[in-house]
Each structure stands twice: as structure tokens, then as C-alpha cells.
Structure 1
Amino acid sequence: MAVPSDLIVSVSGIRGIVGAGLTAEVTARFAAAFGSTVAGQRVVVSRDGRPSGEMLRHAVLAGLLGAGCIVEDIGIAPTPTCGFAVRQMNAAGAIQITASHNPAPWNGLKMFGADGAVLPANTGAVIRGLYEAGAFARSAWDAIGSVSVPPDVAADHGRAVLDTISVATVAGQQFRVFLDANAGAGGPLGTQLLADLGCDTIQYACDPTGLFAHEPEPIPAHLGDVAPWVKQHECAVGFVLDPDSDRLALIDETGTCVSEEVTLALAVKYRLRQQPGAVVINMSTSRMSEDLAAAAGCPCFRSAVGEANVVGLMRATQAVIGGEGNGGVIDPRIGWVRDPFVGMAFILSLMAEDRKPLSQLVAELPQYAMLKTKFTVSRERLPEAMAALVARWPDARINRDDGLRLDGGDWWLHVRGSNTEPVVRVIAEAPTAERAEELCRQAGTVVTG
């Protein structure tokens, strides 16, 4: 069976519009393919709050039970809690039913290995091959799997986060915090975590109904109506989660939306204060974290884009923290998944220890401007376009681990070809917005020339 053309298949799972590319049949087949790689073993299943998740849950259970899997159904739970549960229960893997930050009509499956990390590309390719071939493990009538509901693993996840900081230091400040969970899976855990930290929490859309209060991707462009409430309620900070709660966006005490790149930078600053060590970020993440690592005398490594790639390099370098510039923080003490609850705890700790408002902490970070653009370029022309970019900036440091990255003295360009359309994505970062715009324009001229 071929993969439907309107179904997106990535290294960690599948995603599509429910009722179109993503159906119960497709979902059951992918779950059966995953189940075939862990046949008869324990598998964690969870979902975000999207209403379509209940239908897809039944399809996932059918696929896994047919492979004889012992399913631990933890219900509606954040993606990092799902990864945490895998390690907590010594499971062979997990399936999280989520479309992350995609709009409401979308849903998908995100798959985890026994280490609680999203599947690497090679394992994902095996599962896709099983799906396409229909080569599933099929249990006899007396070997069908089972489903049970374990104790509340979210509470254990929250305690693990609290164990990484001084709760008393944060609680002593009695912060008032605005939490926007946007009806996603992270509302209950986020609310409880903030209560445990002694915060007075103003809750917005914290019930996990999946009926989004605004566009689901937590970027400044989608938070214009929400941001003023932080100042109106006299909150010290606003935290915004995406639907499956693996990203954290920030709003400062003035009601200003902060770049999603800042979340990781502040977390890196705090973590290196706790324990110096290696930092891992991806090729498209701001240089802020790199500069902070250098200031702390610590190495910073860059991986290819993608959570699985970041995690792989974190393991190889024994990093103490890593993540991506989309608001994703990974602390290996908790798990191998982007975890906004870690980010919340670290940022509140930084505010409490330094006795500074969030706006001041942000202003004290290294200052850069980033611009993301794309240009139409045929796949056949990509090698020529990349060579032309190298010739245009001959003095730049070159990295080809993920497309082409060029590093200048105080700027960088990252150029990647799309796997699904004839475009190249160009990201530039420089000390000023004008310089970043100029770099993107010049790169666009080169690759389309």
C-alpha cells in the first residue's frame, strides 16, 4: 500500500488532515507497523486534546493489540510526559497521537523508542517499509495484547522537573504567572507545576479540550490578543504552550511577545549556571545559546534540524542541555524530548535568583535579528546553487551536515532544500534586522540566478 499523497511522513511519525490523508485505516496500519517492531512488549499510548484523537486512539489500540502489545494508555498527556513515561515504565516505545502545532483539522502519530526519544530516521524508515508492505506481526486469538491505565505519570514528570531546581527560591518570590495552554495537553500539568512553585496562576484555556482559543503555533504573530493580558493581570511572565506541549513561548511583564528563540537561550544560561557542560542546538537555532555557552567556557555543538538529530548529538557529546529555537528545551535528566515544563522552571528560577524582570533578562542576552525566507529552486539546480553560495562568501566557515550553513564573523546563513516542494529555505541571523534581510536577499539572488 502506497502512502497517501496528502499524508506527511517524517522520521518520527505521520501527520495529515483527519478524514483525508489521515484516516482510521491508515492510523491502524501505522500502529500495526510500529507494533510489529515491538511485538508482545509494553507500549505507552497518549494523545493531545484534539477531538479527533479519540477516534485515532481506537485505531492505534487496534494496531498495537493485533501485534500482541501490552498497552499503557495514559490518556491526554503532553508529548514530553509520554517520553518520560516510556522510561518510567520500562516500555519498548510509545505512540503519541498529535499534530503538534498544526491547525485543528490535522492530527498524527509521533513514535518513540525504548529510550523515550522520538524515533531516529533509520527506525522510522523500517516502520514505513512495514506499513507499505503490509508486513505486520499478527497475534492469534489467544495472544492478543491488553490495555491498562497506569497511575498518574504526569505527577511523576512534574516532580522530576521540580527536583532540578530550588523550589523554595522560586516560591519565595510569589510570582503571578499567566499560563496559556490553548486547550492543549499541557494545561493540567502546567497549572500544577506552577502551584507547586508557589505561583499565583492566571489560567487561559487550560482545560485540554483541543478547542483552540487561537492559532496553535505559539509564535508572536498568533499571540497578539493574548499578550496584553499579561500586563493587565500584573503578571511577571506569560507562558504559552503548543497543543502537545513540547514548545514554550514567552510574554514579558510588559505584555511584549518574546522571540521563541529566547526560551532556549534563557534555559541554557540557567542550566550552565547549575552545571557547566556541552550544549547542543540545531543548525537553524540562534547564536544566542552559542554565545552563552562560550561565556561559560562550555562547548556548543550544532546538529541537523530535527529533535532526533539534536538528541543524537546530545548523547554523543554528553550534553547537559540542548534543544531547538522553536521554544524547545531538552534536559537529559528528565527525558530526551523537548520539555516546556523544564523551561518554565528554569526561567522562573533565573528570574528569582537574579531578582530581575523577564524583560531585563531578555535585554541582557546577546542581541541578534533572525529572518526566515524561501525561494523557488528546482531540486536539480540545488548542487549548483549551494556551490554558488560558497563562492559568494569564500571566507565563511562551511558546514554541510544539513544543507549548507555559512558562518561569518557575526552572522550566519543556513540554506536547506525542501523534501516536499521545489524551494530552498534560507535563514539568516545578524546583529541587525537590516543585515539579516540583506543576507537573505543576497542568498536569494545567488540561488535563483
Structure 2
Amino acid sequence: MASQPIISVSGLRAIVGDSLTQELIEQYIAAYALQLEQRSPVGPVLLSRDGRESGEMICQWVANTLMKYGRDILYANILATPTVGVEILEHQAAGAVQVTASHNPPQYNGLKLYGADGRIINAVQGAQLLEDYQLKRSPKPKTTLGSHSILANTNQRHLEKLLALVDVESIQNEQFKVLLDCNHGAGSKLAIPLLEALGCQITVLGAEPNGQFAHPAEPTAENLESVGKQVVTHQCDLGFCQDPDADRLALIDAEGQYVGEEYTVALCVQQLLAEEPGDVVINCATSRMAYDLAAAAGTRCLESAVGEANVVDLMLSSGATFGGEGNGGPIDPRVGLIRDSFVGMVRILALLTREQRSLKELAAEIPTYAIHKTKISLEGTDAEGVFSDLIEKFPEAEADHTDGLKLRWPNGDWLLVRASNTEPIIRAIAETRTLQDSQELCEKALGR
């Protein structure tokens, strides 16, 4: 029996040769073509992929569908997800399709869709596209097919924007020894020339973007244990670890210890606010470290609902100078409105250079919190009932309904409970001063 594709307002993921079929891709892209016709009636569409073996075939399906509806295709081949956003603006494209399943296992592939503004489509646009897909809506095919051309030098503009963020010469003088783990994803295409331009001595793991992951794709502590050992073996100052489409960055210190993804955004905030104070946006599932850093700099930290598009929406409406998500995804509007692992690299190297301390030392100076995550089945109950029970159970906590239910205590502890968009479950995330307290808070909340 075929598995079910995961289709939501944020994109599509499915197992190749099982639930990911040519018919699925064509129907989904037809709905996207309809949205493009309504929002951006003229202009080419940029098409790219991460390194997964199935990507080239899926790109062909996408291209043929969009060309049928009269769209010219600018094919960039293998490209990091944040670079796609930069290239949309560079070529004045109507939008883009990135063929990627991000951190999902190798048997998966999927689609991320962009607008003419160079960002992933927002929740409203995603909901409309999902409805159009479900109702099998599409534009009328055109009598003249769109064209297909290949882009060259697709990383140059992104590289220039990244280098403009920092004092390149001062970083070059440090001659950092960096272990770069691209895990055979799209990240090597830009990460290698970027780190070389910053004068780093690089040891690269998984440079070839062929999708043959050397370890599970999500950059978690468990999955990066072997990478940490390589950081020590090669006597590197730190390790940069990307997910397959390079919008997330995890950190490893010189002792091979996993610093994690939550610290990526926090360290970027620390580097930036000392030089350019301004408001910061995180999502409501991200560590409160950013709150502490913003408060120390005399600025605000604002919270959005979970999801990259929601963070960007609040950044734009509030005029924030930086944003990000706790999964290692910094968002810097000076470069683009997409999570960007390369932004993390340049800003963290700039911070190390300015402070003249190690990654381990800098991370230790940020107030430490512990996050615990768990989930329960929704069978036999409903999310709103769970939320009501929690408000009654914890009357001393402030309730926030930005995304599900977030309870905040006066001491800074918090608990977020959300219904999954793709499964009949409720997810809970708690952050306190200790892992034991976070675990106990989740157990109290969902021990039903």
C-alpha cells in the first residue's frame, strides 16, 4: 500500500516511486501555475534542486508542466534553497520551484515554492494553492510553449551579499580551520567558495552534491556524532554542518561537542546587535536566548507562529533587522528573506574574530536553557480541549494563542503545545533552566 504524500501550506514531500508520482507533481505545479498567473502574470520561473538523485527527473516534470502554461524556465540545476531567493530577484523572475525534501530521508523528495519577492510563499498563498491543488484547478494551456534556458554563475550574487555583511580582511587574518559537513547536499556549491574567500582552511565532508547522505540528513546531535570526531581529528576550530538544501546550520566546537542549532541564531544575534541594534523576530518554538540578547542590547525580540513564512511576515511588518528559527535557520534581510546557513557561517566567524574567543567560550556565555520535545496522539480528543485543560491546570501562566497555545511563567519558563499540520498528534515543547524540569513540564502538560 502506497504511503500518503505530505502536502501542506508550506510545500510537498513524498517518497519517490511510491506516493511521489509524475501525476502528483504535475497537479501540484498546475495549481502553482494558476497562482503565478494571478499574482505575477509575466516573467520566467527559476527551477533548481538539491543533490538528490531523483531531483533531475522531477525538475523535468516541473519544467514541462510550467512550459505548457507558457512559462519560460531558468534552470539553475543544483542550488541551495537561500540562493534560489537571491537569484529570483537577480533575474526578475515571477517565482521559483526548488525540488528538495530538506532534512527528510533520501527516499523522499518534494517541492518548495517561491514568489516574485524572493521568499517562500506565505501561509495565505500556501493555503490558496493547497485548495487549488485539491480541487484540481489550473490555468488554460497556452498555444505557445515556454522556453527552457540554463543559468550560469548562480552563486556569485549570493556570495557578494554574504561577504558584504562582514569585515572580510579581519576574518581572513584569523585563518580559521573549519570542518564543513555538506553531507552530499547542495551546500557545497556556495559554502566552499565562501569559506575560501574568508581565508579559512577547510576540511570538507560530503562535498559532492549527489544526495548519498553519509549520515541521516537532519543536523541533530545524534546524527552528527561522527562529524564531531572529525573536527577533533583534523584539529579544526569549529564545524559547520548543513542540511541537504542548506537553509539550516548546526555548530560543533573544537572539542567535537555539538553546540546545536538553537545557538546558530543566538550567536548571529549577538554578533549583529553589538554593531547594528534593531528588533529581532523568532518563532514561538525558538529558545529564549534571543530574548536575553535583545534585552541586553536594548532592543525587542518578537515572536511569530512557527514557520519560516510567519517569521518573515512579522519581520516585514515590524521592520525587524534580523530573524530566524531555532532549527538553525537565520534570516537576514540584507541577503534575503529565507533561512540561510551561509549567513550563519559569516556572522559566527565575524563574532569569533571580534571577540577573540572560541565557539565553546562564546556559547557558554549565553544564558543556558534546556528544551524538551514530546508528542501525544489526538485520537479521542481535540486540540482545543487540550488547550482549555492546560489553561485551567496552569492558571499562574500567561496564555498566548499565536500558534496553538503557549504558556509563559514569570521566571521565563514556557510550554508550547500545537496540533500537527500533517499528523493526528499534538506536539509539546518546553524550555526551562534544566532538561529535567523541561521533561517534567511536558509530562505534567500531556500526562492525560
TM exceeding 0.5:
yes
The corresponding residue for 2:32 is 34
RMSD, aligned CA: 1.4
Question: 1:380–1:434: structure 2 CA closer, same or farther, 3 Å change rule?
Answer: closer
Residues 1:189 and 2:216 are matched in the alignment: no
- Aligned equivalents of 1:158, 1:87: Cα separation in 2: 14
- Aligned equivalents of 2:267, 2:78: Cα separation in 1: 29
| Structure 2 residue identity aligned to 1:110 | K
Any unmatched runs of 5+ in structure 2?
none
Give 1:383-394 correspondences, 5 Å limit: 383-394=384-395
- Aligned equivalents of 1:18, 1:214: Cα separation in 2: 19
- Aligned equivalents of 2:192, 2:287: Cα separation in 1: 29
Residues 1:125 and 2:127 are matched in the alignment: yes
On the 8 A contact 1:216/1:243 being kept in 2, the answer is yes
TM-aligned CA deviation for residue 98 of structure 1: 0.2
The corresponding residue for 1:22 is 20
Residues 1:104 and 2:106 are matched in the alignment: yes
The corresponding residue for 1:45 is 47
| Structure 1 residue identity aligned to 2:25 | T
Residues 1:63 and 2:61 are matched in the alignment: no
On the 8 A contact 1:67/1:136 being kept in 2, the answer is no
TM-aligned CA deviation for residue 140 of structure 1: 3.5
| Structure 2 residue identity aligned to 1:417 | A
The corresponding residue for 1:83 is 85
SS at match of 1:329: strand
SS at match of 1:281: strand
Q: Identify the range of structure 1 (127-136 vs 334-343) with the bigger mean alpha-carbon deviation.
A: 127-136
SS at match of 2:226: coil
| Structure 1 residue identity aligned to 2:402 | D
- Aligned equivalents of 1:200, 1:382: Cα separation in 2: 51
On the 8 A contact 1:68/1:138 being kept in 2, the answer is no
Question: 1:382–1:35: structure 2 CA closer, same or farther, 3 Å change rule?
Answer: closer
| Structure 2 residue identity aligned to 1:95 | V
TM-aligned CA deviation for residue 139 of structure 1: 3.4
The corresponding residue for 1:220 is 221
Question: 1:31–1:199: structure 2 CA closer, same or farther, 3 Å change rule?
Answer: same
| Structure 2 residue identity aligned to 1:374 | K
On the 8 A contact 2:85/2:337 being kept in 1, the answer is yes
TM-aligned CA deviation for residue 117 of structure 1: 1.0
> What is the percentage of aligned positions where both structures have the same residue?
44
Deviation by residue 1:227-273 (Cα, 9 ceiling, x = unmatched): 11111111111000100000001000101011211111001111112
TM-aligned CA deviation for residue 379 of structure 1: 6.7
Deviation by residue 1:304-357 (Cα, 9 ceiling, x = unmatched): 000010100010111111010000000011111000000000000000110001
Q: Identify the range of structure 1 (45-54 vs 130-139) with the bigger mean alpha-carbon deviation.
A: 130-139
Deviation by residue 1:31-67 (Cα, 9 ceiling, x = unmatched): 2221222245311111000000011010000111011
SS at match of 2:437: helix
- Aligned equivalents of 1:91, 1:271: Cα separation in 2: 30
Give 1:338-353 correspondences, 5 Å limit: 338-353=339-354
- Aligned equivalents of 1:124, 1:384: Cα separation in 2: 27
- Aligned equivalents of 1:340, 1:182: Cα separation in 2: 14
SS at match of 1:153: coil
The corresponding residue for 1:441 is 443
Deviation by residue 1:135-187 (Cα, 9 ceiling, x = unmatched): 3223344x210111223121110111010111011111000100000000011
TM-aligned CA deviation for residue 294 of structure 1: 0.8
TM-aligned CA deviation for residue 276 of structure 1: 0.7
- Aligned equivalents of 2:177, 2:108: Cα separation in 1: 34
- Aligned equivalents of 2:405, 2:188: Cα separation in 1: 39
Deviation by residue 1:112-143 (Cα, 9 ceiling, x = unmatched): 111111111221222223333333223344x2
- Aligned equivalents of 1:221, 1:324: Cα separation in 2: 20
| Structure 1 residue identity aligned to 2:100 | T
The corresponding residue for 1:278 is 279
TM-aligned CA deviation for residue 5 of structure 1: 6.8
- Aligned equivalents of 2:34, 2:444: Cα separation in 1: 49
The corresponding residue for 1:154 is 155
On the 8 A contact 2:9/2:129 being kept in 1, the answer is no
- Aligned equivalents of 2:438, 2:136: Cα separation in 1: 48
SS at match of 2:174: coil
TM-aligned CA deviation for residue 211 of structure 1: 0.8
Question: 1:364–1:46: structure 2 CA closer, same or farther, 3 Å change rule?
Answer: same
Using the size of structure 1 for normalisation, the TM-score is 0.96
TM-aligned CA deviation for residue 384 of structure 1: 2.4
The corresponding residue for 2:316 is 315
- Aligned equivalents of 2:88, 2:405: Cα separation in 1: 35
SS at match of 1:172: helix
On the 8 A contact 2:120/2:338 being kept in 1, the answer is yes
- Aligned equivalents of 1:421, 1:279: Cα separation in 2: 31
| Structure 2 residue identity aligned to 1:105 | Q
The corresponding residue for 1:144 is 145
| Structure 1 residue identity aligned to 2:29 | A
The corresponding residue for 1:169 is 170
| Structure 1 residue identity aligned to 2:180 | L
SS at match of 1:221: coil
- Aligned equivalents of 2:132, 2:427: Cα separation in 1: 32
| Structure 1 residue identity aligned to 2:445 | A
Any unmatched runs of 5+ in structure 1?
none
Using the size of structure 2 for normalisation, the TM-score is 0.96
- Aligned equivalents of 1:124, 1:232: Cα separation in 2: 45
Deviation by residue 1:404-439 (Cα, 9 ceiling, x = unmatched): 001111311001122333321111111111211111
- Aligned equivalents of 2:202, 2:296: Cα separation in 1: 34
Q: Identify the range of structure 1 (372-381 vs 203-212) with the bigger mean alpha-carbon deviation.
A: 372-381
Question: 1:37–1:381: structure 2 CA closer, same or farther, 3 Å change rule?
Answer: closer
On the 8 A contact 2:69/2:142 being kept in 1, the answer is no
Give 1:256-335 correspondences, 5 Å limit: 256-335=257-336
On the 8 A contact 1:238/1:253 being kept in 2, the answer is yes
Q: Identify the range of structure 1 (116-125 vs 168-177) with the bigger mean alpha-carbon deviation.
A: 116-125
Q: How many residues align?
A: 442
Deviation by residue 1:257-309 (Cα, 9 ceiling, x = unmatched): 11211111001111112211110001110000111111111101110000010
On the 8 A contact 1:279/1:321 being kept in 2, the answer is yes
Question: 1:194–1:121: structure 2 CA closer, same or farther, 3 Å change rule?
Answer: same
| Structure 2 residue identity aligned to 1:169 | S
Deviation by residue 1:168-219 (Cα, 9 ceiling, x = unmatched): 1111100010000000001121010000000000011111111111100011
- Aligned equivalents of 2:6, 2:248: Cα separation in 1: 21
